[in-house]
A and B are shown apart, each in its own frame.
Chain A
C-alpha cells in the first residue's frame, strides 16, 4: 500500500463502501416484494423471482421499442419504464392471486408447490415469447456515467439511482402500510381475518390488491436489475434463494430487519469475494447464514421481539 496517499485510500474506501451500499440495495429490492407476500400475508411465492424477471423483460422490451420508434425519448424512457413494469407485474400478480393463490391460503406448503408450477410456467412463457437468448436494455448515457464527488471520488450514476429508488420504494411502502386506508386493511387482515371480515372489510379484495402490489414492487426491482445484469428466461433461479434468505435472516415481517440483513449479507459477500472465487464465497456465505440462523431461528429481528 506504499504508493497510495492517505487521501487515495480514503477515496477507495468511500467508493468500496458505496458499492457495498449498492449491493445492500439489491438485496433489499429482492426482498421487498417478498416482505409483503411472505412476511405479511404468510404466503410463499416461489414465482417471486419470475416477477423480478417479468419486470426486467418489460424494461428490455420497452427500451427496444423506444430506441426503434421514438429515439428522442432514449434518455428519459426509464421514467416511463418503471411505472410500466409496475403496472404489468401488478396485473399479472392480480390474475395469479385470483386464479391460484386465493384458493390456497389455508395450505401454505401447497402454495409453495403451486407457485413453483407457476414459476415453471412463467419461465417457459418468457422462453417462448421473448426467446431463450439473454437480453439487456439499452441504457441512457447518463446512467452509464459516474458522478465525481471530489477529484478522486467517483460514484457510478446507476448506483445513485439504485439507492434513491430503494429508499423511495421503502418509504412508499411504509407510508402505504402505515398511513393509507388500504394499508390499514392489509394489516388488519393479516392480524385477524375473521374479525376484519366481520367489520365489513372485503378481505379477499384486500389480499388480492396486497399481493398484486407486492408483485408490482418486484417488477420495479426487476426493471432496475437490467442496469446491472442481462436477463434470460431462467435468470430467476439466481435470485430466488438469495431473496428468501435475506428475508429469513432479517426476520419475517420486519422491514428494519430486511435492511439489516441486506447490509449483513452485502458486507459478508463483499468480504468473502475478496478472499476467494465467486462460488466458494457463496458456499461460505450460505454456511455463515445457516450458523447465524441456528442461533437466531426466528431471524435477527422477528416480529415478536420487536413488539413485546
Chain B
C-alpha cells in the first residue's frame, strides 16, 4: 500500500487531513450551512447577535476539545485566555471611544473614563500598544501564548498533570479575576470596560454591523475549525492523542512530552483568545465576571455536552447549552439551575462522549445499518 501522505497532491493531503472522508466533509458542510444560511435567515438581528455571542464561546470549547478531549489536559482556566483576548479588544475599542473630543469634561481628557474616576492621570504604559489596530490583533494572538507558556512550562516539566493541573488553572483564573477587580484604575475593576462604540470609525452597535460581525465570527470559527482539524492530524496531534492514552509508552519512545503539552495548551489559549475578542466586538463590553471561575467551567461544560473529542460537537455544544440557558433561565430561573446541574451530571455519567458520541454510537449505526451487514 502506498503512503497516502507521500503521494497525492497538496489538495488531496489537505482533504485527507481535515475531513478524513466524505462523512467529515458532509458534517462540515452541514455546520457551515446552518451557521451561514439557516440561522441568519430564521433569526432576527437581536437573536443573531446572541448566537454570535454563543459562537464566541465555541472557540473556547474547541480549544478545550484540542487540549482536554484529544490530549487529556483539562484546563479550568480557559476563561483567563478568553479574557485576555476580550480585554485586548476592549482596550483598543475603549481607547478609540475616549478620544480627547468626547472626553473633554474629564480632568484629563483623552484617557478612558474609569481611569479618570480613579484619579489615574496618565495612560498606563501597557495601554499604549492598543492605540494601533494591527498591534492589537497581534497581541490577541501573542499574549495568550506567552502567558500559557509561562504558566505551564514548569508544571508540565515537573509532570504535573490531570486533576492537579486543572486545579492550578482554576486558581489562575481566580488570580486573573482578582487582578482585574483589584486594579480599578487600570482595567475598570468589577464593572469591566464598557461603552465600546466604534471599531476604526465603524459603529459596531448598528444592526447591519452586528450582522456583519456575526458572519465574521462564523467565518473565523470555520477557519479555526479547519486549522484545529489539520493540527490534530499532524504528527504532533497524533503524539498528543497517544500520550493521553499511554503516557509512559510515549515517553519511553523518546518523545519530550513537555513541548507537545505546552504547544497544545497554547493552541487552546489562542483559540479562546480569538473567541474573547469576537465576544467583546459583538457584546460591546467586557467584565471580569464573564471570565471568572464559573464561566471557565461553563466552557468545559459546552465541550463536554458537545462531545469532548469532537470539534464540531463543541460548536453544537456551545450553541445548544447557551440557547437552552437563555430559553429556560428567562422562563424558569430556579428550575434552570437544577436542570443544568442535573443534565451535566447525567451527561458525565452516561454520555461521556457527549452529543457527538450519541451520533457515532447510536444514530450512525442506525443510518448505516444495511451497509455494515
Q: Mark A residues whose CB is within 8 Å of B.
A: 38, 44, 100, 103-104, 107-110, 112-114, 116-124, 127-128, 237, 240-241, 244-245, 248, 252, 277-280, 282-283, 286-287, 289-290, 293-295, 297-298
Q: Whole-angstrom distance between the alpha carbons of A277 and B166 in the complex?
A: 28
B residues contacting the other copy or chain, number (CB 8 A): 44
In the assembled complex, B349 has its CB within 8 A of some CB on chain A: yes
Give B286-303 interface residues, CB cut-off 8 Å to A.
293-294, 297, 300-301
Does chain A have a CB within 8 A of B344? yes
Contact status B171-A110, CB under 8 Å: no
Which residues of chain B are within 8 angstroms of A245 by Cβ–Cβ distance? Answer: 167, 171
* Docked pose: A282 CA to B176 CA in angstroms: 10
Q: Is the CB of B293 within 8 A of A240?
A: yes
- Residues in A whose Cβ lies below 8 Å from that of B345: 100, 114, 117-118, 121
The docked-state distance in angstroms from the alpha carbon of A295 to that of B338 is 41
Given contacts A103-B349, A114-B349, contact A109 B166 (CB under 8 A): yes
A109-B171 contact given A237-B294, A280-B178, CB 8 Å threshold: no
Q: Which residue of B lies closest to A117 (CB)?
A: B344
17 contacts between A and B (CB under 8 A): A109-B72, A109-B74, A113-B344, A113-B348, A116-B344, A119-B341, A120-B337, A121-B345, A122-B341, A124-B337, A127-B337, A240-B170, A241-B171, A282-B175, A286-B172, A290-B172, A298-B158
Given contacts A108-B163, A112-B74, A280-B183, contact A124 B171 (CB under 8 A): no
Q: A118-B345, A240-B170, A283-B179 are in contact. List 11 more A-B contacts (CB 8 A).
A: A38-B163, A116-B297, A117-B343, A119-B341, A124-B341, A248-B167, A279-B178, A283-B178, A286-B174, A286-B178, A290-B151
B344 to chain A, nearest CB (A): 3
B151 to chain A, nearest CB (A): 7
CB neighbours of B163 from chain A (8 A): 38, 44, 108-109, 112
| Contacts known (A113-B344, A280-B182, A283-B179); A294 close to B171, Cβ less than 8 A | no
Residue of A nearest to B173 (CB): A241
Which B181-195 residues have a C-beta within 8 angstroms of A? Answer: 181-183
Question: CB distance A297 to B158 under 8 Å?
Answer: yes
Q: Please, which residues of chain B bring their CB within 8 A of the CB of A278?
A: 182
Q: In B42-86, which residues have CB < 8 Å from any A CB?
A: 68, 72, 74
Chain B residues with Cβ below 8 Å from A124 are 334, 337-338, 341
CA–CA, A121 and B346, complex, Å: 12
The contact of A244 among B167, B338, B343, by CB within 8 Å, is B167
Q: Which of B166, B181, B344 contacts A279 (CB 8 A)?
A: B181
Q: Are B338 and A121 touching (Cβ within 8 A)?
A: yes
Consensus secondary structure, chain B interface: helix
Residue of B nearest to A241 (CB): B174
Minimum CB–CB distance for B164 against chain A, Å: 6
**Contact present for B174 and A114 (CB under 8 Å):** no
Q: Name the CB-closest residue of B to A280.
A: B182
Check A120–B340 contact: CB distance below 8 A: yes
Give me the interface of B with A, judged by CB distance under 8 Å. Answer: 68, 72, 74, 151, 154-155, 157-160, 162-164, 166-168, 170-172, 174-175, 178-179, 181-183, 293-294, 297, 300-301, 304, 334, 337-338, 340-345, 348-349, 352
A121, A252, A289: the one contacting B341 at CB < 8 Å is A121
Which B residues touch A277, using CB under 8 A? 182
A297 engages B167 (CB within 8 Å): no
Which listed residue (B157, B168, B182) contacts A293, Cβ 8 A? B168
Q: Are A244 and B178 in contact (CB under 8 A)?
A: no
Question: What is the CA–CA distance of A282 and B164 in the complex, to the nearest angstrom?
Answer: 20
B154 and A297 contact, CB distance less than 8 A? yes
Q: How far is the CA of A289 from the CA of B155 in the complex (A)?
A: 13
Chain B positions within 8 Å of A114 at CB level: 344-345, 348-349
A290 to B157, CA, bound (A): 14
Q: Which A residues are CB-close (under 8 A) to B338?
A: 121, 124
In the complex, residue of chain B having the shortest beta-carbon distance to the beta carbon of A240: B293
Q: Find out whether the CB atom of A294 lies under 8 angstroms from the CB atom of B175.
A: no
Q: How far is the CB of B292 from chain A (nearest CB, A)?
A: 9
Docked CA distance A67–B74 (Å):
47
Q: Give every chain B residue within 8 A of A120 (Cβ-Cβ).
A: 337, 340-341, 344
Contact A241 B170, CB 8 Å, known A103-B349, A294-B155:
yes
Contacts of B154 in A (CB 8 A): 294-295, 297
B residues near A103, Cβ cutoff 8 Å: 349
In the complex the two chains form, is A244's CB within 8 Å of B170's CB?
Answer: yes
Contacts of B183 in A (CB 8 A): 280
Nearest-Cβ distance from residue A288 to partner chain B, whole angstroms: 11
Most chain B beta-carbon neighbours within 10 Å: one of A114, A252, A287, A289: A114
Question: Complex Cα distance A53/B179, Å?
Answer: 26
Closest to B335 in A: A124
Cβ distance A264 to chain B, nearest Cβ, rounded Å: 15
- Give bound CA distance, A72 to B159, whole Å: 58
CB proximity of A54 to chain B, nearest CB, Å: 15
Q: A252 vs B171: C-alpha distance in the bound complex, in angstroms?
A: 17
A286-B341 CB under 8 A given contacts A124-B334, A297-B158: no
